[in-house]
Amino acid sequence: MTKVIDVELRGIMKKFQSNVVVQNFNLQVEQGEFISFLGPSGCGKTTTLNMIAGFLDPDGGDLLIKGQRMNGVPPYKRELGMVFQTYSLFPHMTVAENIAYGLKLRKVNKQEMQERVNRVLSLVKLPNVADRYPKQLSGGQRQRIAIARALVIEPSLLLLDEPLSNLDAKLREELRDELKRLHHEIGVTTIFVTHDQEEALALSDRIVVMNHGFVEQIGTPLEIYNQPASEFVHTFIGKTNRLEGEVIGMDGDVLTLRTTGGMLVKAAKQQRTVALHEKVIIFIRPEKIKLTDTAVSDEANRVKGHLQLASFLGSYTECEVKAGEHTISVKVQMTDKSVEREEGQTVYCQWNADDVLVMPAGRG
């Protein structure tokens, strides 16, 4: 099966005055793919989306949609769907009129218009709000209608600009699942811009992690999480313990490291090569660390400390362990067997060499 490329960015560059905000962006989006642009604010993700939508023109490189070069084509000729963070429903039109607006512009006849509006309303599970005004709907409902309005014209590409950011936590999760369901149902190629790593991980086929206008990594959620290409990617996605240290031994693929606090860490094979005696940064995810009352493993990858803080968060407990000069975060999952721990208690933190990520210091 040959891949159909829906969107292609070739060396896209954008600057505002002399300030480069997107640098050499290359990407191919396959038909039906759900791609997220993830990064902190100011990383260039929204600028890139605006270039795809046609609100901005790239200062360099080519943008292709369905194989056609789109540079300079105004947004209203691109046949795309877009959903905005602020819903952006027309307040002076009813829900039905909002959805039908795109169809009206395409001169779809009355009866077909009616059918398509109804179909898309049931698709977003709001079949009974057609005659209401946006003001009369809740935030979640408004965003569903905005999605319906974007989908009804059957766009070649759906652009989502932080569509969940204005919703409160519970609704956000609900609508996130809804987006996933919709994407499974209609399979429209989707580009999703977000600063929320959980949303990106949950929804995407692939994620583009961006920072300061550069693409840091493009990969599946699993690749991004487990094999980060840079310190930025690793720290931006999920919580982590960051330790500084030095390579003091190499035994085949296994590294022995000593932290600045004197702790011994063993690490399994790494993607990035490091040299003996090289200064390194060591990352261990909190959920990979186990808390025990007694020492189980050997001297490396084990540290004794005091439980300084334990915050119960429902399905897990977030702990902070003070071990020498290190403060280690540990995420303890709630299981039947979990013991209630008290702050001040002496505990051991232990982890596997497979779960240690080592990167050369000062090389990004």
CB nearer another protein, residue 145 or residue 282? 145
Smaller CB separation from another protein, 88 or 220: 88
Cβ neighbours for 194, distance < 8 A, ≥ 6 positions apart: 36, 37, 38, 162, 164, 165, 200
Stretch that binds another protein, among 9-17, 48-56, 182-190, 295-303 (CB under 8 A): 48-56
Minimum CB separation of residue 104 from another protein in Å reads 9
Distance, in Å, from the CA atom of 91 to the CA atom of 84, rounded to the nearest integer, reads: 15
Binding mask 134-163 for another protein (x = CB under 8 A): ------------x--xx--x-----x----
State which residue, 48 or 217, has the beta carbon closest to another protein: 48
The DSSP annotation for 205-264 comes to SEEEEEETTEEEEEE-HHHHHHS-SSHHHHHHSS--EEEEEEEEEEETTEEEEEETTS-E
Q: Do 302 and 318 touch, CB atoms closer than 8 A?
A: no
Which of 74/364 has CB closer to another protein? 74
Looking up tokens 């499974």 gives 184
How many CB atoms are closer than 10 A to CB 92?
Answer: 9
Residue with Cβ nearer another protein (105 or 334): 105
Q: Segment 97-116, which members bind another protein (CB under 8 A)? A: 101-102, 105-106
Please return the burial class of 98, using the count of CB atoms within 10 Å of its CB with bins 0-12, 13-18 and 19+.
buried
- Tell me the C-alpha distance between 228 and 239, whole Å: 13
Q: With binding defined as CB under 8 A, does residue 76 bind another protein?
A: yes
Binding mask 77-96 for another protein (x = CB under 8 A): xxxxxx-x-x-xxxxx----
Task: Say how many C-beta atoms besides its own lie within 10 A of residue 362's C-beta.
Answer: 9
Q: Residue 66 or residue 212: which is nearer to another protein going by CB?
A: 66
Closest approach, Cβ 147 to another protein, in A, equals 12
# chain residues binding another protein, by CB under 8 A: 28
- Would you give the DSSP letter of residue 275? -
In angstroms, give the least distance from the CB of 142 to another protein: 12
Among 55, 277, 304, 309, binds another protein (CB under 8 A): 55
Output DSSP code: residue 150.
Answer: H
> Whose Cβ is closer to another protein: residue 8's or residue 162's?
162
Footprint of another protein on this chain (CB under 8 A)? 53-55, 74-82, 84, 86, 88-92, 101-102, 105-106, 146, 149-150, 153, 159
